[in-house]
Amino acid sequence: MAIYGYHEHPDVLQFDTAVTAGEPGRIRLARTFLHPGGGGQVSDQACIRFREGEARIVDVAQEAGGYWHILDRPVTISGDVSVEIDAVRRLSVARLHTVTHIVNALVFQRFDGALVTGAQIYADGTARMDFDLPDADNDELRGLEPRINEIIAAGVDVRASWVPHREALATPGLIRSLSVAPPPTPDGRIRVIEIVGVDRQACGGTHLTNTAQSLPIRVTKVENKGRRNRRVKLALVA
């Protein structure tokens, strides 16, 4: 699990930095606070201002041990720059990512430790989660919606911490994916997100600091995806 600038400074949405490498349409930065996405989450986007004008960072891609910031057009940028992260997009994704942890916790508790088989968190206020639930009643999954919204409205604190990788592997329920375990940092730690009294699991994504910062959600659809998987689709309700 890489340590991103976002992890250490989650409230930074504007910063100055310098381009360390550049090609038409993409750049590397001396420092960055954009979350690169991953684990089903889309990346941050941002406006970048430079000597000749401005452009938009539309994606972040990891390559050869570094992060390339992908631009919306094939412009070449060098020198000092100013970056402003899209706060609306960040908040929407953080809301959904936090809500998916609530959903994950309720499914894990109600369905005897059912694991996640896939997830996707979009920037348009929607998300989906797939669970290994071959015998689940889809109506029971739909029925989780009121409890999810109760937890959102309750204003539960959300905390981030780091634990040793060995401890994470030894703690039941801390790693919830059926097929993928987050890799440790170079110094052997795993980032953990705790929704106090509700959920605690390994995750590198963007999150709220309190559930009341989210809008309510609606379970828009529950469907079978193959013999074992149940897909739960969610949407923020404005």
133-141: Cβ within 8 A, 24+ apart? 133/107, 133/228, 133/229, 133/230, 134/227, 134/228, 136/111, 136/230, 138/222, 138/223, 138/224, 138/230, 139/222, 140/110, 141/107, 141/219, 141/222, 141/230, 141/232
Side chain identity, residue 186: P
Q: pLDDT at position 180, please? A: 61
pTM of this structure: 0.93
> What is the C-alpha to C-alpha distance for residues 55 and 47, in angstroms, rounded to an integer?
6
CA angle (56 as vertex; 37, 19 as ends), nearest 5: 85
CB 115 within 8 A of CB 202: no
Side chain identity, residue 181: A
Taken in order of first residue, the domains within the chain and their CATH numbers are 5-85 (2.40.30.130), 90-236 (3.30.980.10)
- Which strands sit side by side in the sheet containing 158-164, from one edge to the other? 158-164, 189-195, 199-202
DSSP tag of 212: G
State pLDDT tens for residues 72-121: 999 999 999 999 999 999 999 999 999 999 999 999 999 988 999 999 99
State pLDDT tens for residues 44-66: 999 999 999 999 999 999 887 78
Residue with more model confidence, 73 or 177:
73
Beta bridge mates, 22: 27
